[in-house]
Structure 1
Amino acid sequence: MPASKRDHRRLLVGSLDPLSSLATPKLGNTATARPFGREHRQPIDRNRELARCLRRETYDMNVPTHITDGPERQMLEYMLDHTRAELIDTVRGLSETESRRRLVPSMTTSIGLVKHAAFAERKWFQHILGGLPESECDGAMVGEASFVVSDNETVADVIAEFERASNRARTIAANIDLDATRGHPAVGTVSLRWIYLLMIQEFARHAGHSDILREQTGATRRT
């Protein structure tokens, strides 16, 4: 992984389909971009940038400075998509063996972190926000056991599972107000805003975990 990419991740204290959830909000004509290490401000066309993101052209979700202001919901969804992208980025290019390598005393692995993130998407968006019974969620609802990846699942399989769960989360949340609340059996009353903030924290934290594991894996390759 290029050093610059790791440096940006550390600076941002963070960790899939970028910006697909931003198709709904009304965007202004311009935004202000402030690249790292530069004093000047450069106006950009926000709608044009969004279109480029959705076409997966040159947008780099690892440096989220293209949209730095805007409505609260737009910024929350933008940063959530950024952390989703960062987490996936930590496992791309790893072999199946490397992705499962245990380099810490716990059962944490790079592929297991992405598997767990897919569970978190289902738990908070399908079950809590959407009100679906756990039996109707489109994947296993197994809590801490969600870190376990079966032998027949590949890195590509787990990434695809996370992407499906993220896409469904966007669909469920799209027409729900940030102030709308739901009940959680342990936490109590939570709003969609709180769920967004929780998921940003969760995925950023796990992307940091996985980034360290990847650096350790890279070190073993060189020895």
Structure 2
Amino acid sequence: MSTTRITSGTERTLLENTLDRNREALIETARGLSEADARRRLVASLTTPISLLKHAAAAERIWFQRFWAGLGESECDGYAARDLGTFAVRDDETLADVIAEFERASRRSREIAAGFDLDDTREIPDEGTISLRFTLLAMIEEFARHAGHGDILREQLDQTQSGKV
């Protein structure tokens, strides 16, 4: 799937389009990798191509299912705690599984967000008053940053595969 870049329209249209494009950019950093490469640790942190996607799926659930839909952590359709567990990928999960999980979480986020206006707000512990507009911007920032991380990891992996390291 490739979301067409929209350069004019309502604020909401532009925000949602940019968020969707960043979601896709993050997925593309991992698509086509072997299972071993998707899990390869190239940095000291828990950041791997597959763990970035797992973390992004959790971020979708935290911000939209928990904060906006008001679900409890245990009511969400996957991991939704605000801790390093968001990067944890089980051994039996494949890259395709994690991409599908992120895509499902993103679809659900879109559905939840559709029920609110940009100026609607929620009181969130440790965040204060947030608007839907802020949430969309925060997700754009989050996924753009992680797509950049993914780009760097992918470049390292591709260079290793071609023997250029």
| Residue of structure 2 in register with 1:43 after alignment | none
Bigger radius of gyration among the two = 1
| Residue of structure 2 in register with 1:124 after alignment | 63
1:182 paired to 2:122:
yes
Q: Could you tell me the TM-score, scaled by structure 2's length?
A: 0.95
| Residue of structure 1 in register with 2:138 after alignment | 198
- Aligned ranges 1:123-202 → 2 under 5 Å: 123-142=62-81, 143-202=83-142
Amino acid at match of 1:178: L
User: How many residues get paired?
Assistant: 162
Cα deviation for residue 148 of structure 1 reads 1.3
Cα deviation for residue 175 of structure 1 reads 2.0
Separation in 2 of the partners of 1:173 and 1:104? 34
Amino acid at match of 2:151: D
Which runs of 5 or more residues in structure 1 are unaligned? 1-55
Cα deviation for residue 97 of structure 1 reads 0.2
Runs of 4+ in 1 over 3 A off after TM superposition: none
Identity over aligned residues, as a percent? 59
**Over residues 133-157 of structure 1, what are the superposed CA-to-partner deviations in whole Å (9 max), with x where a residue is unaligned?**
1111100123211111111000000
**Over residues 96-138 of structure 1, what are the superposed CA-to-partner deviations in whole Å (9 max), with x where a residue is unaligned?**
0000001111121000000000000000000001111111110
Which runs of 5 or more residues in structure 2 are unaligned? none
Q: Could you tell me the TM-score, scaled by structure 1's length?
A: 0.71
| Residue of structure 1 in register with 2:54 after alignment | 115
| Residue of structure 2 in register with 1:215 after alignment | 155
Separation in 2 of the partners of 1:121 and 1:107? 19
Separation in 2 of the partners of 1:140 and 1:85? 21
Separation in 2 of the partners of 1:177 and 1:141? 24
| Residue of structure 2 in register with 1:96 after alignment | 35
